[in-house]
């Protein structure tokens, strides 16, 4: 999947969770391909660093703070794109959290709510406030789901995360059908393991040991390349789905996991 620099020239894109990991890699690649990128993140320092990297490389970028659980923050982030560049062509709804890894019995309701509010409600708000602007000329929305919300259910302790990511897949299909008449495409990407620093933010509770299953995975959990995806590989998929080459693709889950989920269900 190769694109030429400039393929996204003239397009404006909002990237949530753009301060690190997949979001940062996508924001930088979209800018490299010519897009004007608004980088939104709850951590403004991270968003600003991404935007600075884009500008230093000769691209156009804007950093905005955005708590995905707050409708006012999300609406303002969308408006920031339109105020600066006059339109919105694409959205990468990527921001999200894993939450605590624990058993359902021991999970705090507040943790469940935080994961759902960030991952599910956050995408709903991002899409909702983007629609009026995308309607003007059509566009593309890419939502970050996960193999953990579609194919892989063996990750004990991730019930909140997996439920939110599975729900996103259904939400994206509903949105794809509802918005097709306006020329707006909506797809989800479903990464498996990706080499980012997200593991450092996961709080694995001791109660998890009581419900863990003695699963012996096949030798070599990732058949293709035998390693996690790089953020840049995921970014290439995002840029493809936001660009014109995917103009007839909507309502689709695209897996990028090196075949991992074919071994681990």
**CA separation (Å) from 97 to 27, 136, 199, 201, 202?**
19, 32, 11, 9, 9
Cβ neighbours around 84 below 10 Å, total: 14
Q: Does the annotation mark 161 as catalytic?
A: yes
Question: Which residue out of 33, 129, 161, 255 is catalytically annotated?
Answer: 161
- As a whole number of angstroms, the distance between CA 5 and CA 185 comes to 22
> C-alpha 18: how far from its chain's center?
9
Q: How far apart (Å, rounded) are the C-alpha atoms in residues 265 and 263?
A: 6
Token pair of 263, please? 């071994």
- Measure the CA–CA gap between 224 and 157, rounded to whole angstroms: 26
What is the maximum span of the chain, computed from C-alpha positions, in angstroms? 55
The residues assigned a catalytic role are 161
């Amino acid at each position: 999947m190769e694109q030429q620099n400039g393929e996204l020239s003239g397009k404006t894109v909002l990237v949530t969770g753009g301060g690190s990991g997949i979001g940062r890699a996508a924001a930088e690649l979209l800018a490299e391909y010519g897009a004007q990128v608004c980088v939104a993140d709850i951590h403004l320092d991270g968003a600003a660093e991404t935007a600075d990297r884009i500008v230093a490389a000769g691209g156009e970028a804007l950093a905005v703070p955005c708590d995905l659980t707050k409708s006012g923050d999300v609406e303002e982030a969308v408006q920031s794109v339109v105020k600066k560049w006059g339109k919105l062509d694409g959205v990468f709804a990527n921001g999200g959290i894993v939450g605590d890894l624990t058993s359902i019995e021991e999970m705090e309701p507040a943790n469940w709510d935080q994961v759902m509010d960030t991952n599910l409600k956050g995408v709903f708000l991002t899409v909702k406030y983007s629609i009026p602007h995308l309607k003007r000329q059509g566009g593309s929305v890419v939502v970050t789901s996960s193999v953990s919300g579609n194919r892989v259910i063996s990750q004990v302790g991730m019930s909140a995360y997996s439920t939110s990511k599975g729900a996103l897949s259904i939400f994206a299909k509903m949105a794809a059908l509802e918005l097709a008449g306006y020329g707006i495409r909506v797809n989800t990407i479903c990464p498996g393991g990706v080499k980012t620093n997200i593991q450092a933010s996961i709080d694995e509770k001791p109660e998890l040991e009581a419900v863990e299953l003695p699963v012996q995975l096949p030798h070599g959990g990732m058949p293709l390349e035998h390693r996690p995806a790089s953020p840049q590989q995921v970014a290439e998929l995002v840029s493809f789905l936001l660009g014109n080459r995917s103009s007839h693709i909507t309502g689709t889950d695209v897996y990028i996991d090196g075949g991992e989920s074919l071994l681990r269900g």
